[in-house]
Amino acid sequence: PLCYGVDPNRNWDYKWCEGGASHDPCSDTYCGSKAFSEVETLQVSQFLNTHKDTIVHYINFHS
């Protein structure tokens, strides 16, 4: 089977693996084994939490 990896849009801890996400690792909406299982989402989360007192605006673009 063709496995896509984790969908980073569904790998955050807020409502993790809800709303159309899948626990199937071969799904294109796979949410990962747990929230922040992927280094990309973990690093962005840690950056935002570290700088939460100084960040004025945050814009998330994706399609």
What's residue 53's pLDDT?
97
Question: How far is the C-alpha of 58 from the C-alpha of 63, rounded, in Å?
Answer: 17
- Sequence spans of domains, the chain: 1-58
Q: What number of CA atoms fall less than 13 Å from residue 5's CA on the CB side?
A: 6
Which among 59, 62, 13, 17 is positioned nearest to 35, based on CA atoms? 13
**pLDDT tens digit string along 4-56?**
899 999 999 999 999 999 999 999 999 999 999 999 999 999 999 999 999 99
Q: pLDDT class for 2, splitting at 50, 70, 90? A: confident
Quick check: helix, strand or coil at residue 42? helix
What is the pLDDT, as a whole number, of residue 62?
Answer: 74
